[in-house]
C-alpha cells in the first residue's frame, strides 16, 4: 500500500471519529438539556403543590377569622341574658346588664359623667363556675374607649365581684361604673366579646 493511500485512509478515519465525537457531544448536550427540563418540570410541579397547600391554609385562616368576627360582633340589648361557658369548668352561666343609667355624683371630672350598670350573673349549670368580672369594657358608639372608675357607693349597693365562685343555682348581683363623655348617650358594653348596646 502506498503512503498516499495510507494517509488518505488515516485522514478518513480521523474525520469519521471527529464526526462521531461531534455527534456524541451533541446528543450528550441534548440529554443534559432534557434532564434539566425534567428537573425544572418536577420543581414546577412541587411549587404548584406548595401553592395549593398555601391556598388551603389561607382559606382556613380566613374561615377562622370569619368565625372570630362573628363572635365579636354578636350583639345584645339591655335585659338580654347572654349564655356563656366558664373557661375553667366548661359549665354554662348567664350574664346580663339589667339597667344602665347616669349616676349623680360629684366624683366625675368636668365634661364627663358616671355611667352605672346593674349586672346579674347566674349559674344555671349543675356544677360550679369561676366568674371573672375583670373583662368589662365600655366604648362610645364610635368606639372611643371609656375608663372604668371606682366611686363610693351608697349603703346597700356594691360592685359586682371581679372573681367569684358560683355554685349551681347561685345568682350574683352588683354594679360597675365607667367615666364617660357627658355629651354621649349611646355606648357599647363589652363582656367576653359580646356587645350589649346601651342607649340612655
Of 73, 92, 126, the last residue of a domain is 73
- Find the mean pLDDT for residues 81-108: 88
Query: What grid cell was written down for 1?
Result: 500500500
Banded model confidence at residue 69, pLDDT cuts 50, 70, 90: very low
Can you give the residue range of the structural domain that contains 65? Answer: 1-73
Can you give the CATH number for the domain in which 188 is found?
2.60.40.1240
Of 43, 73, 103, the last residue of a domain is 73
For residues 132 and 54, membership in a common domain is answered with no
For residues 97 and 132, membership in a common domain is answered with yes
Of 17, 44, 73, the last residue of a domain is 73
Q: Where is pLDDT greater, at 42 or 106?
A: 42
Q: Where is pLDDT greater, at 141 or 71?
A: 141
Number of domains within the chain: 2
For residues 146 and 83, membership in a common domain is answered with yes
- Find the mean pLDDT for residues 21-34: 66
Amino acid at each position: 500500500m502506498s503512503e498516499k493511500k495510507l494517509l488518505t485512509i488515516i485522514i478518513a478515519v480521523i474525520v469519521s471519529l471527529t464526526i462521531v465525537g461531534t455527534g456524541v457531544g451533541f446528543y450528550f448536550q441534548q440529554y443534559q438539556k432534557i434532564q434539566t427540563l425534567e428537573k425544572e418540570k418536577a420543581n414546577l410541579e412541587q411549587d404548584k403543590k406548595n401553592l395549593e397547600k398555601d391556598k388551603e391554609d389561607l382559606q382556613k385562616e380566613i374561615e377562622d377569622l370569619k368565625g372570630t368576627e362573628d363572635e365579636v360582633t354578636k350583639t345584645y340589648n339591655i335585659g338580654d341574658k347572654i349564655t356563656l361557658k366558664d373557661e375553667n369548668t366548661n359549665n354554662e352561666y348567664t350574664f346580663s346588664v339589667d339597667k344602665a343609667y347616669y349616676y349623680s355624683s360629684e366624683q366625675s371630672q368636668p365634661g364627663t359623667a358616671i355611667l352605672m350598670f346593674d349586672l346579674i350573673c347566674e349559674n344555671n349549670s349543675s356544677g360550679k363556675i369561676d366568674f371573672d368580672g375583670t373583662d368589662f369594657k365600655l366604648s362610645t358608639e364610635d368606639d372611643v374607649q371609656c375608663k372604668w372608675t371606682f366611686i363610693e357607693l351608697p349603703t346597700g349597693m356594691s360592685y359586682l365581684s371581679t372573681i367569684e365562685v358560683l355554685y349551681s343555682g347561685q345568682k350574683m348581683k352588683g354594679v360597675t361604673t365607667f367615666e364617660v363623655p357627658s355629651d354621649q348617650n349611646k355606648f357599647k358594653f363589652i363582656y367576653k366579646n359580646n356587645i350589649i348596646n346601651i342607649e340612655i
